[in-house]
Structure 1
């Protein structure tokens, strides 16, 4: 009898999490592909052919930290998109490594017990005023347009804090899509941001064995927030290979071995395209030579 109980418990933990993984719809996957492109385009100092027929409203760059972002407007979708750039320079790497947990202080946020990644918060604050002003201007002059926040890698960590800050300042964030988002705060922070934006509107996309979502480690009191959407294949992903894994799965990306370097091939490609390059950006119209 005892062996039977042990077997059933083991079966639950082996099969249970896997059965909880649900393949996404084509609509969700197409949206993930769409914002992969905007996150990729943010790596360019300029973007000659912005994604989805959109236009660039403004580029943002803080020289001391080298924090960058791009504000796009898609008139056909009636949408404004702010995309934060990922790691692309030694200064960005300094930001990544500045992982001390410090009190949340971004403008508009109100959580005295929340602690977040110091580097990500300082990076966001370095361009926050200009970003907020530009978004406010666009939304006031384009009635009925929605606001989406996105970013990859470092840009995803900044996008998380930016989402909270923008909402706290009265700017309605319709959706946030992040790619390869590292952990960026403690449990109180996770609870707070999930109270600001529903998990159904926060898409934390991971890919195969991308190691960046697995850092900073939980031993440093970092946790994830937002629903994970895992592109499980190394390449040629589709709706059928992309799973809704819930908010803190241990069997999707977190269950994969990233190898010695968290910034691996899976981190640099999402939705079957290059995302982490400032030299070759398909999302801005770059094509491989034939």
Structure 2
């Protein structure tokens, strides 16, 4: 397909786009933030990605855990959320009812709906995270917010980014909140995806490794829709040339959406050459 050709999906949506390889700089950036996502699986991470640990958070009931790190060189506060690692997590994953995004300080379009299990999980740690960030924002007003996560953690990172963007609006001189997800399932409906695309645009990075079946394990037939932009590493080994930037609409038929979900495939356990849960905590 050339850049001038059009692809029409079964939903009668037309994409004027051809996936193109990303730059080496962007590939390094995606790898950098995945190290946080992988480290979130560690019970304790004293120096996430070599940076300052602000808070190691968790909730025993929901079994959600992660950390907040501060990178003073990049001037960032990074919220990393762990993916599924227990039966409790699996039960949250399975609660796929689409519900309104009701959480303190957040106001989304009326028809926006999100995964009930992921929202319940986020709500169990949201207060811990926002309280710690409020202190850090006062101490470090020049630091931007970044959320990251793998698998369910990627979906939680998306919900976290939406919440933090509204609770902590960026000043005009700062880059706004960014979010990076790796192997994340669909998180909400098309209205929610459109909201993410409008508010974050190119600041929302959604990475998929080859035939990882988790990003498509919740089908669009249930009302779900991915946000963009997807970065699809379509073949191994990982590199800038083998990683494609897909259409911003979220369900690019030229990228991973064209592969039927095989569930939790081996590709889900490795991203950008890093095996989950490799810790980067020194």
Q: Same fold (TM over 0.5)?
A: yes
Query: Matches of 1:171 and 1:263 in 2, distance apart?
Result: 36
Q: Tell me which residue corresponds to 1:162.
A: 160
1:150-202 deviations in whole A, cap 9, x for unaligned? 111111111111111111113444311110111111111112222322x2111
Of 79, 93, 97, the match for 2:94: 97
Q: Tell me which residue corresponds to 2:128.
A: 130
Contact 1:24 1:242 in 2 (8 A): yes
Question: Which structure is higher in helix share?
Answer: 1
Q: Tell me which residue corresponds to 1:58.
A: 55
| Superposed structure 1 runs of 4+ greater than 4 Å apart | 11-14, 16-19
Query: Matches of 1:246 and 1:19 in 2, distance apart?
Result: 6
Q: Tell me which residue corresponds to 2:219.
A: 217
Say yes or no: does 1:108 pair with 2:109.
no
- SS of the residue 1:73 aligns to: strand
Query: Matches of 1:117 and 1:107 in 2, distance apart?
Result: 17
Contact 2:83 2:154 in 1 (8 A): yes
Higher mean C-alpha displacement, 187-196 vs 152-161: 187-196
Deviation at 1:135, TM superposition (A): 1.1
Of 184, 187, 194, the match for 2:187: 184
- SS of the residue 2:280 aligns to: helix
Q: Tell me which residue corresponds to 1:266.
A: 267
Query: Matches of 1:71 and 1:250 in 2, distance apart?
Result: 35
Higher mean C-alpha displacement, 206-215 vs 171-180: 171-180
Name the Cα RMSD after superposition: 2.0
Deviation at 1:218, TM superposition (A): 0.6
Deviation at 1:284, TM superposition (A): 3.1
- Normalised TM-score (structure 2): 0.88
Query: Matches of 1:44 and 1:282 in 2, distance apart?
Result: 6
Contact 1:184 1:224 in 2 (8 A): yes
Contact 1:18 1:251 in 2 (8 A): no
Larger radius of gyration: 1
Query: Matches of 2:111 and 2:153 in 1, distance apart?
Result: 24
Deviation at 1:257, TM superposition (A): 4.5
Deviation at 1:256, TM superposition (A): 2.6
Gaps of 5+ in 2: 9-13, 171-175
Contact 1:106 1:161 in 2 (8 A): no
Count how many residue pairs are aligned between Structure 1 and Structure 2.
265
Q: Tell me which residue corresponds to 1:6.
A: none
Deviation at 1:263, TM superposition (A): 1.3
Q: Tell me which residue corresponds to 1:245.
A: 246
Query: Matches of 2:7 and 2:193 in 1, distance apart?
Result: 25
1:59-116 deviations in whole A, cap 9, x for unaligned? 1111111011210111222211001110011111111001111111122222221111
1:232-270 deviations in whole A, cap 9, x for unaligned? 123x211111110113212211223443xx211111110
Q: Tell me which residue corresponds to 1:85.
A: 82
1:28-68 deviations in whole A, cap 9, x for unaligned? 111100011000011111124521x2121111111111011
